[in-house]
Amino acid sequence: MSEKRTRTRTPTNNTTTGFRISDELWEVLQPLLPEHRHTHPLGGGRLRRSDRACADAIFYVLRTGCPWKALDVTDLVPLPTTVSRHG
């Protein structure tokens, strides 16, 4: 099992900055996404990550070919399961 990172992440991670979705592409994609409905029975649960953050992570994996589990060492999403459960 790999060790957890001890170095704090910088706000501009050079590894992922170049792979973010452009504002122009996001303007095209956003209207195509369904509106999120909060369905937790008690109204609680973790805060939902933004659609754009998850789209950035999905496109990062598609462009680089990295495994989904490798997302946890990027600054895109906190856990790879965030992207797989998003929707």
What would the pLDDT profile of 17-51 be if each residue is shown by its tens digit?
A: 677 888 999 999 999 998 877 777 777 767 778 88
The per-residue pLDDT for 29 is: 92
| CA–CA–CA angle 10, 13, 14 (5° rounding) | 140
Instruction: Give the CA distances from residue 25 to residues 50, 52, 59, 60, 61, in Å, rounded to whole numbers and listed in that order.
Output: 16, 11, 12, 14, 17
What would the pLDDT profile of 58-80 be if each residue is shown by its tens digit?
A: 888 888 888 888 877 777 776 65
CB atoms within 10 A of CB 46: 8
Give the whole-angstrom CA distance, residue 51 versus residue 36: 9
